[in-house]
Chains A and B, each alone.
Chain A
């Protein structure tokens, strides 16, 4: 029975559900950010500078939309008549969700600065790192949908898969740094690609943090 039959408890739970619905919209926007970033990577490798810049701009706009959604969710958490039971976890969840888009935007900005062609060994690693991000954010999207549908088992299972992808991203970062060292790049490109490696791994890190909050919310909802 928990507190849901009590009217005040029900109101809190309903507010929580409403925030999770917004989180679903937020993760959609974050997903778009990552997809636009993957597009930018594709155009960068094919040498289409104009298309790359356009995609980076799309990443920026999408990240801005995600920011607006985050503000709305935080307003909801602070201005509602009654607060959701897990408001602190939800607040961290919302903030972490937003960091995914932030870090993707950061990675896109760095990509924008790299103007010269880079060796294939490095670009291959950038593509692999981006694919890992897309896979992770797709799982996150599914996990949030499962959470809103109260399919807690699936939400936890998907979050565990995100953990696994994050481990792969760690290894991928190591491989990318190795390739950067071996490529003997110019100092500017060396700095930018190294930073990009950090950011690519950082995005999957943030996705994993978000998945951890999904686990917390799912376990508390049981």
Chain B
């Protein structure tokens, strides 16, 4: 039993590390790229706000992943531990495979699919309605962010260029880019921490409060060890959004993710930021979007929950052949 608990914690740590390493750049990467912040300042802000988000509001989504899809707390202790371990393993495995194949997948999608797959394999009552609601929200995440991005950019463009004196625009936009980036980091921590510790909390290995703190530390560990490299690359070499565009996209993405977080829905913060950037970019017309690339991205998004679900289902079936659960 202790071995299972340790393995579950290690898997949670791994998922948290991966989130911190990969997705930290989504919040303040643009601010680093546009020289509003130095890399060090950005990392400090992401760590603070990501951790705050995880600790203050991470419990909503954690509850959904831990108990909302498969009621892990109502299963037998040993069965629930195996479900937790296999689901974490499947999500982790798919994230590693996708990383190797350079596919842009979502950890949220991966963990939700894996929990459902493990639940099915063990014969637990999977809550299909909740799953359906989550799937619907996944479709609306980028769309909603794009609509918000488009609206925010239109409004901010008018406010900044029509009503404000040019002298103040630069400093105000810089301040707002940082503030909205911190908001993105906060909502990212609040929504994504559940991917690493939702299951841990669900099976009762750690209390909800302890588990979000544990997840927050795992994410911070990811940012410190690898995330800074990604922030630097993404910030300095890829994003070329004007500060006002970055502000609109960040604000749209953060508001979007925050709404889902309040309702306890695990969504992809990456999908949200991409949707928001698309919405902002659409102001310049459809030609800025490369639909071939978009198609690849959407395919990865759609395939992830099914693949992690199948991995999880198969692994648990194999375990059941050797161990009576």
**With A6-B230, A7-B104 as contacts: A1 and B25 at CB distance below 8 Å:** no
> Which B-chain residue is minimally distant from A1 (CB atoms)?
B99
The residue of chain A having its C-beta at the shortest distance from the C-beta of B101 within the complex is A4
In the complex, what residues of B have CB within 8 A of residue A11's CB? 104, 238, 274, 293, 297
Please tell me which stretch of A53-61, A80-88, A181-189, A209-217 contacts chain B, meaning at least 4 of its Cβ atoms lie within 8 angstroms of it: A80-88
CB contacts under 8 Å to A, within B39-81, are: none
- CA distance in complex: A182, B212 (Å): 86
Interface residues of B in 281-299 (CB under 8 A from A): 281, 287-290, 292-293, 296-297
| A8 touching B239 in the complex, CB below 8 Å, given contacts A1-B21, A82-B277 | yes
Q: Are B273 and A8 in contact (CB under 8 A)?
A: yes
Contact yes or no, B102 A81, CB < 8 A: no
A89 CB, nearest partner CB in chain B, Å: 11
Given the interface contacts A5-B22, A7-B274, does A14 sit within 8 Å of B293 by beta carbon?
yes
Say whether B26 contacts A5, CB under 8 Å. no
**Bound-complex Cα distance A79 to B286 (A):** 11
- Residue A3, interface by CB 8 Å: yes
A7–B297 CA distance with the chains assembled, in angstroms: 9
CB-defined interface of B168-209 with A at 8 Å, one 1/0 digit per residue? 000000000000000000000000000000000000000000
Interface positions of B from 77 to 110, Cβ below 8 Å from A:
98-99, 102-104
A10 at the interface (CB under 8 A from B): yes
Within 8 A of B (CB), among A148-195: none
Chain B stretch 220-244: residues in CB contact (< 8 A) with chain A: 226, 229-230, 233-234, 237-240
B residues near A1, Cβ cutoff 8 Å: 21-22, 99, 226, 230
The answer to whether A82 and B104 have CB atoms under 8 Å apart is: no
Please state if A6 and B23 are interface contacts (CB–CB under 8 Å): yes
Query: Would you call A81 and B233 a contact (CB within 8 A)?
Result: no
A76 proximity list for chain B (CB < 8 A): 290
B309 within 8 A of partner (CB) = no
User: Nearest CB to that of B105 among chain A residues?
Assistant: A5
Q: Which residues of B contact A128 (CB under 8 A)?
A: none
Shortest CB distance A25–B (Å): 14
B22 pairs with A6, CB closer than 8 A: yes
Task: Type the 1/0 row for A9-42, where 1 means its CB is closer than 8 Å to any CB of B.
Answer: 1111111001000000000000000000000000
**Interchain Cβ contacts within 8 Å, total number:** 94
User: From residue A219, how far is it (CB to closest CB) to chain B in Å?
Assistant: 15
The answer to whether A82 touches B239, judged by C-beta atoms less than 8 angstroms apart, is: yes
Chain A residue nearest in CB terms to B23:
A6
Grouping DSSP codes into helix (H, G, I), strand (E, B) and loop, the B interface class, with mixed when no group exceeds half, is helix
Give A76's nearest chain B residue, CB to CB.
B290
B261 at the interface (CB under 8 A from A): no
Residue tally, chain B, CB below 8 Å to A:
36
Partner pick for A81 among B18, B226, B271, B290, CB 8 A cutoff: B290
- Residues in A with CB closer than 8 Å to B288 are 79-81
B247 to chain A, nearest CB (A): 16
A-contact 0/1 string along B235-278, CB 8 Å cutoff: 00111100000000000000000000000000000110110011
A9-B25, A15-B293 in contact; A4/B99 too (CB < 8 A)?
A: yes
A222 at interface by CB-CB < 8 Å: no
CA distance A6 to B290 in the complex (A): 18
CB-based contact A5/B104 at 8 Å: yes
**Are B234 and A3 touching (Cβ within 8 A)?**
yes
Query: Which partner residue on chain B sits nearest A86 by CB separation?
Result: B237
Q: Chain A's nearest CB lies how many Å from the CB of B140?
A: 18
Say whether B119 faces chain A, with CB atoms less than 8 Å apart: no
Most chain B beta-carbon neighbours within 10 Å: one of A8, A10, A15, A86: A8
Q: Give Cα distance in the complex from A11 to B294, angstroms.
A: 9
Contact B274 A9 (CB under 8 A): no
* A217–B92 CA distance with the chains assembled, in angstroms: 31
Contact across chains for A79 and B273 when beta carbons are under 8 A apart:
no
CA–CA, A33 and B133, complex, Å: 57
Q: When A10-B104, A18-B293, A81-B277 are in contact, do A5 and B99 touch as well, CB less than 8 Å?
A: yes
Which A residues lie at the B interface, using CB under 8 A? 1-15, 18, 76, 79-86
The 7 closest A-B pairs by CB, nearest first: A7-B270, A12-B238, A10-B104, A3-B233, A14-B293, A85-B237, A4-B102
